[in-house]
Structure 1
């Protein structure tokens, strides 16, 4: 038997027979010197067996973090350690949910079947915003250990008319309240398309005005607003980043849809994704870009890992994309790819 193995057996024996450390039998010793003797014994044990042997014997014997047994250099406090969780948007089953062949209750159970870490409850499919209905969804999800990664509404903030901007803010507040009732912490919102004769800077200004007020409200409930790079003014990383800087709220982020950025002469889609990942509060995934070219998924996950993204990476399946299958086939395939890449590049 090796010295390391003998040392481990000795430690087990000492725990089974506390009389080995008689100082600890006195309550005074426990507060004064007993703990010091225990620490010295542990230090001696470290010297005896070496750190390499500890990884093989189980770090829990010394009450040290289990991650140290995997990699002593792994820094769990680092903001650069990615934590990637698989998710799925209800929108992935858009046809089924609209036609009534699937309900949001069914979607929650589908999440169990797909072994998802969480689901995004797209607002289009709620039967009601009555608290009783929302609490029923929340309870069903809890009973099946399915967290809600967030909710998503259609509120579009690019409105030239001040009254329409006020109405948009009311809509955002309404869905913040719904999100709170669901027990989720994130709400996706849109900027929107420019109206005729409006300039880009005007559109950005209207978005900032409404989103800042929305974040002031959502912050009171601990809910983050995620601006999606959806069709319209926000299909540019530069615009998204300007909005984030001007809103300047810890409750503002980017709901990063990796497929929607329009490439420019100086920035392709990947460069724009990389620029926005540090601000991402939720991520939506499809496997084809806005122009229908395939996404290099592994490359995108490398960007998530490099930025230390922590959060949900949710499938948003589009059957209308080239080669699109029915959701029953396409969603599990996309989810499986997401889960594989999350395992590859995540700390979990």
Structure 2
């Protein structure tokens, strides 16, 4: 009986793209990796928070009509953020997504765990815990957090800042475990810029309820695909971007290459896409204003084409 239960748990963790240990992913012979598409709603940040021409409900409806499997609802799009929404509103959003056939693949907050001020870090730890509670109620399996920037004056003190970061993430992961919500840190070109930096933090936290959100557009290295492959054993979710070299680069992501890396890793989970408004210069196409309604559909189509080709 114990052996059967153990095998069941191992299979469940593998289906989530997790590991039996921090360093080694589980493998299930004869089972193909499965991935699903998702829309990170930050793609619609402009219409949701700037000109406010759309509501969260509008974009959920759009996601279903566009053909996504899931949505990743960034927390700032809930009314009253950073305060948590009412259970009534959470249930309303959860029901709407369900009736439209959409999973809720994750949510995320804006935090800074590299801040030298322990009071500020404690406030952000509580922020993450509050939204872990929301994620639990939504049925979202993962909450996305940031590391934070390198603080001024700490450029040559990475070990000190890393300690701040690991301590904060460890506390969040412990709370996430209690609530059944994975905590994932996103490489965002801030304190975490390379695969090695991400892996040091993941190993420092050392929790099966903690991993990395693989941001395909924010490894600040010569070959981001190598970094993506390197962090895949620790992946709990994604941010699939249009370019591996940042939003201002005209070089498009090779989705076939990316999906091959994902498949070979054994990751089974969501692939949320995120398109971004480019502010400042240079711009790949300077004369065309950003319009998520025009940017998202072709990117989703390209992702689905790559999935079908690589997983055929």
How far 1:80 sits from its partner (Å)? 7.4
Query: Residue 189 of structure 2 contacts residue 220 of structure 2 at CA under 8 Å; is this kept in 1?
Result: no
Deviation per residue, 1:84-123 (Å, 9 max, x gap): 1111101011111112211111111112111111110011
- Counting matched residue pairs gives 269
TM-score by length of 2: 0.82
TM-score by length of 1: 0.74
How far 1:246 sits from its partner (Å)? 1.0
Query: Residue 123 of structure 1 contacts residue 152 of structure 1 at CA under 8 Å; is this kept in 2?
Result: yes
Among candidates 267, 271, 283, match of residue 309 of structure 1: 267
Q: Secondary structure, in 3 states, of the residue corresponding to 1:192?
A: coil
Distance in 1, Cα, partners of 2:92 & 2:162? 38
Could you tell me which residue of structure 1 aligns to residue 24 of structure 2?
A: none
Distance in 2, Cα, partners of 1:103 & 1:297? 30
Q: Secondary structure, in 3 states, of the residue corresponding to 1:271?
A: helix
Asked if residue 275 in structure 1 is aligned to residue 230 in structure 2, the reply is: yes
Deviation per residue, 1:201-229 (Å, 9 max, x gap): 12211111000000100101110011000
Deviation per residue, 1:36-90 (Å, 9 max, x gap): xxxxxxxxxxxxxxxxxxxxxxxxxxxxxxxxxxxxxxxx943973211111101
Q: Secondary structure, in 3 states, of the residue corresponding to 2:145?
A: strand
Query: Residue 173 of structure 1 contacts residue 218 of structure 1 at CA under 8 Å; is this kept in 2?
Result: yes
Among candidates 290, 307, 310, match of residue 342 of structure 1: 307
Query: Residue 179 of structure 1 contacts residue 186 of structure 1 at CA under 8 Å; is this kept in 2?
Result: yes
Asked if residue 322 in structure 1 is aligned to residue 284 in structure 2, the reply is: yes
Asked if residue 245 in structure 1 is aligned to residue 191 in structure 2, the reply is: no
Could you tell me which residue of structure 1 aligns to residue 45 of structure 2?
A: 94
Among candidates 184, 191, 203, match of residue 233 of structure 1: 191
* Runs of 4+, deviation exceeding 4 Å: none
- 1:155 to 1:161, Cα distance in 2 relative to 1, 3 A: same
Q: Secondary structure, in 3 states, of the residue corresponding to 1:120?
A: strand
Q: Secondary structure, in 3 states, of the residue corresponding to 1:250?
A: coil
Distance in 2, Cα, partners of 1:87 & 1:346? 17
Query: Residue 287 of structure 1 contacts residue 297 of structure 1 at CA under 8 Å; is this kept in 2?
Result: no
Structure 2 gaps of 5+ residues are 1-26
Deviation per residue, 1:260-313 (Å, 9 max, x gap): 00115xxx2111111011211111111212261332221111111111111111
Work out which of the two has the higher radius of gyration on C-alpha atoms and give 1 or 2: 1
Could you tell me which residue of structure 2 aligns to residue 108 of structure 1?
A: 60
Among candidates 285, 306, 316, match of residue 240 of structure 2: 285
Query: Residue 86 of structure 1 contacts residue 342 of structure 1 at CA under 8 Å; is this kept in 2?
Result: no
Among candidates 328, 331, 335, match of residue 296 of structure 2: 331
Among candidates 187, 193, 200, match of residue 143 of structure 2: 187
Deviation per residue, 1:96-155 (Å, 9 max, x gap): 111221111111111211111111001111114121111110111111111100101112
